[in-house]
Amino acid sequence: MPISDIIFKIKEPPPQLSDFVESFWMLENTSGAAHDTVGLPDGRFDIIFSYSPAEPFNAMLMGLGTEPGEHSIPPKIVMCSVSFKLLAIEYLLDVKAASLLNSAQPLPTGFWGIEKGDLDNFENFCEKISKKMISLIKPGIDSRKQKLFELIYSSNGSMPVKELSDKVFWSSRQINRYFNEHFGLSLKTYCNILRFKTSLHYIKEGKLFPELDFADQAHFIKEVKKFSGVVPKELFKNQNDRFILLSALPKK
């Protein structure tokens, strides 16, 4: 199935949500056939609202991914999603996502007041769900955590754990305890995922050598294969748009 049958839109969150939300996105498969794809780890967790002729309207909380996974995008499906940064787990949703690693859980009917009709207008969906989330933000955010995530995201996961620890005056042991308890993985693993995700931009442009802080070419290939299941050259070819995250990346 050609990728032209997949409509994809993305939108940045309002400033009030910038610490918690990476983006909003909408995906629609306009064809009558399923699209087989491989999901790649991207350092986000998502709430996805969707419906299709075969499935009623529903909402799912998708946990962090640490490995590639085979998926199928059903025919005629419409999906609207919020992609979250990790700070949202504690200060917006108040859940521990460790048990959701590489998995998902259904959310109750009427979650956050989103209805099937809201998915038919992406701009309205973003506006409605933004207002709801802004009203849910907890006060008193730990400044160490806020600074830690600012550094992690601004460095695309390339800053060493020791340097992160020193900059936020929080021991690496305590940070890793926090990460494992709340997210189900270590800080280093999470940073490696972010670095891999950033590498996808270079791979899409045909740059099959490390552009970030990898030890050498062998290390780069090993990390790409760990998170995508294939070497950079095969990822770049992206036959049949199997890696839809790569296909959806905006052009620089």
| CATH number of 206's domain | 1.10.10.60
Per-residue pLDDT at 162 exceeds 60: yes
The beta strands (E) that lie in the chain are given as 6-11, 21-29, 35-39, 45-51, 58-62, 69-73, 78-84, 104-106
Q: Pick from 85, 108, 136: which residue ends a domain?
A: 136
> Judging by beta carbons within 10 Å of its beta carbon (0-12, 13-18, 19+), is residue 101 exposed, middle or buried?
middle
Q: Are residue 76 and residue 109 in the same domain, yes or no? A: yes
Indicate which CATH number applies to the domain containing 19: 2.60.40
Q: Are residue 155 and residue 244 in the same domain, yes or no? A: yes
Q: What is the per-residue pLDDT across 2-40, written as a single tens digit (0 to 9) for each?
A: 467 889 999 999 999 999 999 999 999 999 999 989 999
Report d(CA 160, CA 56) in Å as an integer.
45
Residue at token pair 């009030």:
16
Quote the tokens at residue 74.
């059903």
One-letter amino acid for residue 64 of the chain: L
What range does the domain containing 121 cover?
A: 3-136
Q: Are residue 118 and residue 150 in the same domain, yes or no? A: no
Is 0.75 surpassed by the pTM of this model? yes
Q: Pick from 101, 121, 136: which residue ends a domain?
A: 136
Structurally, the chain folds into a number of domains equal to 2
Q: What is the per-residue pLDDT across 103-153, written as a single tens digit (0 to 9) for each?
A: 999 999 999 999 999 999 999 999 999 999 999 999 999 999 999 999 999
DSSP state letter for 250: P
The confidence score (pLDDT) of residue 148 equals 98
The confidence score (pLDDT) of residue 3 equals 64
What is the helix, strand, coil percentage profile of the chain, to 5? 45, 20, 35
Report d(CA 120, CA 75) in Å as an integer.
16
Q: Are residue 207 and residue 83 in the same domain, yes or no? A: no
Q: Are residue 33 and residue 157 in the same domain, yes or no? A: no
205 vs 113, more confident: 113
* Nearest residue to 66 (alpha-carbon basis) of 94, 45, 37, 96: 45
> Judging by beta carbons within 10 Å of its beta carbon (0-12, 13-18, 19+), is residue 82 exposed, middle or buried?
buried
Q: What is the per-residue pLDDT across 163-176, written as a single tens digit (0 to 9) for each?
A: 999 999 999 999 99
Distances (CA, A) of 59 to 10, 89, 106, 163, 208: 19, 17, 6, 38, 37
Per-residue pLDDT at 215 exceeds 90: no
Q: Are residue 30 and residue 45 in the same domain, yes or no? A: yes
3-state secondary structure of 28: strand
Per-residue pLDDT at 251 exceeds 60: no
Q: Are residue 172 and residue 230 in the same domain, yes or no? A: yes
Q: Are residue 11 and residue 85 in the same domain, yes or no? A: yes
Q: Are residue 80 and residue 147 in the same domain, yes or no? A: no
Q: Pick from 104, 136, 168: which residue ends a domain?
A: 136
Residue count of the chain: 252
Distances (CA, A) of 124 to 29, 80, 114, 117: 20, 11, 11, 10
3-state secondary structure of 127: helix
For 116: left if phi > 0, alpha if psi spans -120 to 50, otherwise beta; the answer is alpha
**In the chain, % of residues over pLDDT 90:** 76
Per-residue pLDDT at 46 exceeds 70: yes
The confidence score (pLDDT) of residue 193 equals 96
The confidence score (pLDDT) of residue 124 equals 97
Q: Are residue 12 and residue 31 in the same domain, yes or no? A: yes
- For the chain, the first-to-last Cα distance in angstroms comes to 26
